[in-house]
Structure 1
Amino acid sequence: MAFLNARLIDPEAEDEARGHLLVENGVIAGVETGAAPTGDFTVFDCGGKCLAPGIVDIGVKVSEPGERHKESFRSAGRAAAAGGVTTMVTRPDTTPAIDTPETLEFVMRRANDAAAVRVLPMAALTKGRQGREMVEISFLRDAGAVAFTDCDAVVESTKVLSRCLTYAGALGALVIAHPQDPGLSAGAAATSGKFASLKGLPGVSPMAERMALDRDLALVEMTGAKYHADQITTARALPRLERAHDKGLDITAGVSIHHLTLNEIDVGDYRTFFKVKPPLRAEDDRLAVVEAVASGLIDIISSMHTPQDEESKRLPFEEAASGAVALETLLPAALRLWHAGQIGLPRLFRAMTLNPARRLGLDGGRLRRGAPADLIVFDPDVPYILDRTTLQSKSKNTPFDGARMQGRVIATFVGGRQVFGAAA
């Protein structure tokens, strides 16, 4: 296959150029900027639109097993393909939690049978995500777990977490944590401050993130483990993160697309689609985190896709479930940062493709000969108004419903096979 007339977005070289790309046997066979190739190719004419590696999305919740009515692997796979996500790294906060090899194998079978894109499962760090007893990390890793996390169920016991990090470090396994102090965060629906007080919402101080990150990084320094903070959302946490990088700790950090593009004022009408965890932050925090992504201090942008049904969201703001779907809105929302001149396209895709692939030891996320042909063709400029009823996800809880968006996926390819687009 030959992709011609493409605007090549290369996150590894951090540049873009006009050219073409060749695919053979599911991998990239060549990337050229010269004259179009000759030969017996199936041609996909990009028409001058962008061609980039497919998004590697760490932290996707698929509600199998236990809550399939919210999201299945089939519906999540369709949503991912429509949003340019070619690899979903799924969370273990299911019912029951993915904390045994048997549950993990069930999930992998379901994913392989139903999803249109690649699915890499994470496993729980402690049994039942209860923070008391470490899972069989070695067995789960052998069964296919790419990382270990209790998601937003923070391990409160420092001793238990240190044991988990020590064991994971000895195996070279990646631990993903949610840096929020559970005591301060309990019951919070907003970030503390004038806005939360004005709206009468229970708040949590941004310091809860800094305190939890301090503890985690001290344990990482002690154990030498591989660590990833799933969401850094406040300016107060950034200096600590920078110092840890300077010490040479094996750490990375991520941020959700909602914390990059929305702020606490957006919850002003008590719309529960804007209730996420951690809560949306002040505008100063949002701008600081955007700058951290642009500078490379924060490595990864993810959707933190969290489907919730209507019954969970149609409640008073304090009582409503946290979370928003984002597989289909991740790319157009991220393009807001590019349109605003805050982050260049190659750097944006580095945070969504190359960096997550590198953190997980994957070959994808790059436009290089021999890399998997997981590719997306997209128009970054096409405007539209998002209608949540058209989303492929079973759940429709997006904060971008009715919002003006700019940028849409034209086609998605996984291993050279088209899984989304007019010819799919």
Structure 2
Amino acid sequence: MSFNMYVPTRILFGLGAVKKLHEQEFPGKKAVIVISNGKSTKENGYLDTVKSEMSKAGVETVVFDKIQPNPLKATAEEGGKFARENNCDFIVALGGGSVMDASKAIAVSATNDGDLWDYAFGKTGKGMPIKNAPLPIVAVTTTAGTGSEVDQWGVITNPETNEKIGFGGIDELFPIIAVVDPELMKTVPPRFTAYQGFDALFHSTECYIAKCSNLMSDMYALTAIENIGNYLPRAVKDGNDIEAREHVALANTLSGVVMTLSSCTSEHSIEHAMSAYHQDLPHGAGLIMISKEYYKYFISQHICDERFVKMAKALGMENADKADDFITALEKLQNDCGVGDLKMSDFGIEKIEADVIAANARETMGGLFEADPCELGHEDCAEIVKKSYR
């Protein structure tokens, strides 16, 4: 029942929330707006809107527009240097999870000397403490997937060592303000709406079965799962369905909060290993492809059957009465969202990689295995990847 809750982020949630940005208090007069290296943020007018809001607040801005879908260590270091050279007081992260994740690494790099990997954990990271306070972050999310707008973690990839790991974890990396405006999510394509929605879902399902789950995290997790189950198929079908977008956005933010109360499990470690070797693999897609076999493993151990029943009911299967019903409900949701047919082979993954992926997952993000409801050994982990392969 015990929990330790600290989520200091001011959350501006709802339609038109971005237009209230200029009313907030900011930690300085100059900000670097961090966006992706794609076109959507600019073409959809989101960048202009945020620049205008900051201008109204008397804040000067510069733009760093180089973040990849799986953000790289070198890019974060370049962003940190850019922020320093432009004498920026804080960061405005405008985009999806990758942008917000990268912004946390940029915030650290901007105020701390040395290689970014000096402060990273995992196989080759030095795990040094972050000595100087990172730049404050304002997060304006344009997707509903990671919940990174309300937590203190980011994920960064080091392609030289094939490591994709969680980065940060200190209180100073909680965004000071999070803007969650469903209007900014209407242009996300259907498939990516699904990928992102399932990422949010699995944050909550993992935290719900984790050893460290508690009464508070359970409340957030089940509410998030219900909102994904009821509204994600609608958001995928019609991106302009604002009611659906609102509920999926809420689930996303709740899933971000639940990760500060509980912990993700090894499902995320496995997917991070997959995309560490395959940069073009969307995180949510990777999670979807391994999810059924992953949860089947824990169901077979009968370690928390009642929790799987409750999750099945939260996904809309009201008559669920056995753990296997969760897999049925999960499969239906994936099919309803048009992502039930994803194949690893379509993303360049080969079945023979299973052993390497399993080893990488434990070496780079072994801590999440400790949160699993029961032990998941190397062979079982590799078998999950093999069984998921198509």
Shorter-chain TM-score above 0.5: no
TM norm structure 2: 0.27
The structure with more radius of gyration: 1
More helix, by proportion:
2
